[in-house]
Structures are given as structure tokens and as C-alpha cells.
Structure 1
């Protein structure tokens, strides 16, 4: 039986707010450039890898994937480690400007995503939620993974 609500974690990329299923989150880490090991010959959105409890986790910059311009890393910049398939080997890190909050939203409050960005990523979004006068775009993590893999990382 499907629940009547979703628990989401929200975060900022540029001046926009995004969210995804909080049950997919494994860790939230501060982003420190020295902790990410660069990997040669990878795409610009792959920052490198980190060692998380003995597991090698690739780190991607969602700001680059979503074509967010003019961003800088701050002390609030974070890595959200997610596992979309609930397996250690499917973990990856997503760099975001800052993590905002975890909140619940009723399924009846989720509006369908009826737009696309310049990359043609219409399937990237599961929907949009209006929360406290802000629009929060819900990201489909599996679609983002497919987009990353299709770019011949």
C-alpha cells in the first residue's frame, strides 16, 4: 500500500530549491575539496571520488548537470550521499549549495512537472511542490543516474 505522503530532503542549487526522496539519503557530508580525489579523463560534472567507510563513492556536481551558473563553494556546500537502489555499490555523492530541510508533503500537493530545461531533461523531475511561498522541484534520482551514465562517464 502506497503512503499518502512523501518525506523529502530539500536543498539549494543556485537560487532554486530542489528535493528528492529522503529515504534514498545515506549521508550528508561537508564538501571539502581536499577530500575529493580527482579522477582523470572524466566529464566536468564528475568531481572525483571519496572514501566513505571503506567504500569508493563517485561525487557529481548537480549544479553542473542542471546548468546552474555562477556558483561558488561555501562552508555550506555539502555532499549528499544517496543510494537510489538501496545498495552500497550504487551509492554516489551529489554536491549541492546547501541542504535546507527534511519535510513531508501530501501526494495530493505534488503538481506534475510540465517543463524542461535546456538539456531536454523533462523526465528529471517527478513534480513540483509549493511550500511556504516557494516552489520546490522534485528530482527523479534514477533519471539523473541514467543521464550521468548516458554521458559516457
Structure 2
């Protein structure tokens, strides 16, 4: 790494993806893999943002639709729709996104704290905001996308079904 970059801060990498034409980023270190939308089994009595569970090489993981979780207008699945498997504090979770785009590189100084917006519940999912090609990118805090209790409730509901 050059001395110039070291002075400005470390480079942070994010997996860029879109939901309803808005760009977001997930910390690249939390991304385990990207999967096509395959068979997802619905689970009764779970929050609306939970699409269900999927079998990932013998491991059952919850799948959540980020469009519903973030209250973004959801469109029909397309060939670009995919599931990003991330490792959160509670374990692996699949996140349905409209399209995975590219790896985004930001120097630490480019990442700004999200603004305080009163009771805007969405902002609890945002770690920071950065500019990429004249667009603002919301950087998602994977640890807050699904709480430990929500994770346990989904797996418990799946076992009871």
C-alpha cells in the first residue's frame, strides 16, 4: 500500500448491490458467497421480511428479502436477483438483492457517518455513507440486519414445521 493511502486511511472494500435502483454496500469480509435464487422453503409465523430458509450444502440458513426489510418497493425477481450469503453475529444469513454489481473500494476518509434522522428505523442498518460515481452508497451493518432473537425464532419455527 502506498504512503499516500496509508496517510488517508485504510481502504475498505464492499460488495456493491442494488435494491430498486438504489446502490448499497456490504463489507466484503462478511460476504461468504453469492447464490442464485433457488429453492427457499417458507416458514410459518415469521416476520414478513423473512422469505424462508434454504439448504446450503446441508446447513439450514434463513433468507431475508432486504427490499421488504428496508421497506423498499419490491419488484418481481429477475435473472439478476440473487442471494448474498453473509456471516453476521448470529450466523449465516441469505440476503435477497435485486442485483450484485461490483466490489467498491473506499478510503476510510470517504465513508461518512449516517445522518441522524429522528425515528427513521432504516438508519439502524446503515454503518456509513460514501460517494461512488456521483451516487451515494448506503453501507450496510450486517450485524443489525437480523437480530439474534429473530434468527433463533426463524430456526425454531423451521424445526417445528
TM norm structure 2:
0.81
- Report deviation, 1:121: 3.2
Taking the TM superposition and a 5 Å limit, the aligned residue runs for 1:114-129 are: 114-116=115-117, 119-129=120-130
Cross-structure match for 1:16: 22
Which runs of 5 or more structure 2 residues have no equivalent in the other structure? 1-8, 155-161
Q: C-alpha offsets along residues 99-150 of structure 1, whole Å, 9 cap, x if unaligned? A: 0111221000111100549752332211111011111000111122239829
Contact 2:77–2:98 at 8 Å: present in 1 too?
yes
Which runs of 5 or more structure 1 residues have no equivalent in the other structure? none
Report the Cα distance in structure 1 between the residues aligned to 2:79 and 2:119, rounded to whole angstroms.
Answer: 29
1:93 aligns with 2:94: yes
- Report deviation, 1:43: 1.6
TM norm structure 1:
0.85
Report the Cα distance in structure 1 between the residues aligned to 2:118 and 2:103, rounded to whole angstroms.
Answer: 25
Q: C-alpha offsets along residues 12-71 of structure 1, whole Å, 9 cap, x if unaligned? A: 011211111011111100113xx1111122221111111111100110000001001142
Taking the TM superposition and a 5 Å limit, the aligned residue runs for 1:106-145 are: 106-116=107-117, 119-145=120-146
Taking the TM superposition and a 5 Å limit, the aligned residue runs for 1:1-153 are: 4-32=10-38, 35-85=39-89, 90-116=91-117, 119-146=120-147, 149=150
Q: Calculate the aligned-residue CA RMSD, in Å.
A: 2.3
Cross-structure match for 2:5: none
Larger Rg: 2
Instruction: Tell me the secondary structure at the aligned position of residue 144 of structure 2.
Output: helix
